[in-house]
Amino acid sequence: MRRQVPYYAGLALIAFLALFPFVYSANDYDYIMHIFIIAFFYAILASSWSMLAGYAGQFSFGHMGFMGIGAYTTALFCHYFYLSPQATNVCTEFQFGDTWLVIVNPIGVTSTTLTQDCLSQALAVWGGAYEVTPMPVWLGIVLGTIMGGVFGLLIGLLVLRLRAAYLALFTLGFAEILRATISAEINITRGQAGIELPKLFQDGITVFGRTFSSTDKIPPYFAMLALLLLCLAILTWLAKSKFGLFVRALREDQDAAAALGVNTTRYKVLVFVITTMMAASAGAVQAHYIGIITPNNLFLLQMSLVVAMAVIGGVENFVAAAIGAIIIEFVLEMLRNSFDIGGITVDMTIWRLVIFGIILMLTLRFTRNGLITPVIEYFTRGHVGGETVAHRAQPADESEAAK
């Protein structure tokens, strides 16, 4: 029974998260819902990074880079690709039956060129006679996820022979190069100005007879929660399969695993592809929720936050990492409130990061498995020591008798 406690607690937590938007009704409803959505986003990143670093031992610091690839793929796709019933004759375009796939020319961000893209020119000529259709958001998210996997495959192949600090530095370099490239390619990516994206549910959505507008928090809340649960379900399935066993063996001793028949190359690349696809999908959904993506989202500080969330939750347990991410996101938000002590105002906009850092340091010093993992292991592995002691006498007696 004790071993089942974490599973029941998990089900209760899912039920709570599913019911929360319908039972919570305070004035800060939108704010709390927003924090939850962001927390789910970080939970996906932290749990997938936990599989990569905690389970497989691949300490990649490029996770936010892959998140950015997902976000920028869908952003560029939605920004530059349209379907038109009529040829524009000024854009690059391909005909499919009665429909034209129009690729808008990049015009950068300068004010003089804002109306100079080919599609704007064509629409001006048409004078409302024709309308173009933007690409579906879901397709952008799918493409972003796939692109994340493609880059994950490439990076996974490149780092096959790298271990520990070298792997960390390589992936860190990749993420920084990616961010710098996005910042520099202003003509296409709009640089620091960022690219605006259509909302996750741009035209609203009707579910069970209830209509939600594009600014309602409930649809993106459940979209991100569903993505989190899907990722956790996939990670659970992988962890319980031979994949999970092999990547943990890879973490423990790559050479020994290979000597026992494990194709370490395959599993190292696979774990990169799977986890980077998760990061990319989270990035794509998040970008559509926020409505804009900028290179700042790929900053190293963001990666540090994901690592800290996973470490505080428990890096070797992706559920603990996800829970840790949700808790840390809320703690960081709650710590924004400044307060007075004896007439002295404590500015928490500064001190909250200090407090967060202290929590991280104390966790690393005293509970290397994080704060959540020991609780889970108390229930799932608490019986092991007793069992070992109970069984220990038996074989010893038998061996003595045999002598």
Partner 1 sequence: MIKLVVKDLHKKFGGLHVLKGVNFEINGPELIGLIGPNGAGKTTLTNILDGAIKPNSGTVYLNDTRIDQLEPYQVALAGLGRTFQVTRSFRRMTVLENLYVPALAMGRPDSKPAIHDKAMSVLEFLTMDHLRNEFAQALSGGQQKLLELGRLLMLDPDIVILDEPFAGVHPRLMDIIHEYIRRVNDEGKAIIIISHQMDSIFSLSQRLLVLNYGDLIADGEPEVVKHDPAVIEAYLGSDEDEEEPEPATETQS
User: CA angle at residue 118 from 116 to 120, to 5 degrees?
Assistant: 70
**Shortest separation between residue 366's beta carbon and partner 1, angstroms:** 19
**Shortest separation between residue 356's beta carbon and partner 1, angstroms:** 27
* Token pair for 57: 């031992």
**Shortest separation between residue 394's beta carbon and partner 1, angstroms:** 7
**Shortest separation between residue 48's beta carbon and partner 1, angstroms:** 20
Out of 2, 3, 163, 242, the residue judged to bind partner 1 by CB under 8 A: 242
Out of 76, 132, 249, 282, the residue judged to bind partner 1 by CB under 8 A: 249
**Shortest separation between residue 403's beta carbon and partner 1, angstroms:** 10
* Token pair for 185: 């390619």
By the rule CB under 8 A, 245 interacts with partner 1: yes
Q: Which is nearer to partner 1, 262 or 305 (CB)?
A: 262
Strand order from edge to edge, sheet including 81-84: 92-96, 99-103, 81-84, 133-134
| Terminal alpha carbon distance of the chain | 40
Q: Which is nearer to partner 1, 41 or 49 (CB)?
A: 49
Could you give the string, one character per residue 251-290, with x where binding to partner 1 holds by CB under 8 A and - elsewhere?
xxx-xxxxxxxxxxx-------------------------
* Token pair for 395: 């074989």
DSSP annotation string for 24-76: --STTHHHHHHHHHHHHHHHHHHHHHIIIIIIT----S-HHHHHHHHHHHHHH
Query: Binders of partner 1 among 75-104, rule CB under 8 A?
Result: none
Give, as one character, the DSSP assignment of residue 161: T
By the rule CB under 8 A, 384 interacts with partner 1: yes
Residue 84 sits at φ, ψ, to 5 deg, of -130, 140
Out of 16, 338, 381, 382, the residue judged to bind partner 1 by CB under 8 A: 381
* Cβ contact 70:289 at 8 Å: no
Q: Which residues bind partner 1 (CB under 8 A)?
A: 242, 245-246, 248-249, 251-253, 255-265, 316, 381, 384, 387-388, 391-392, 394-395, 399
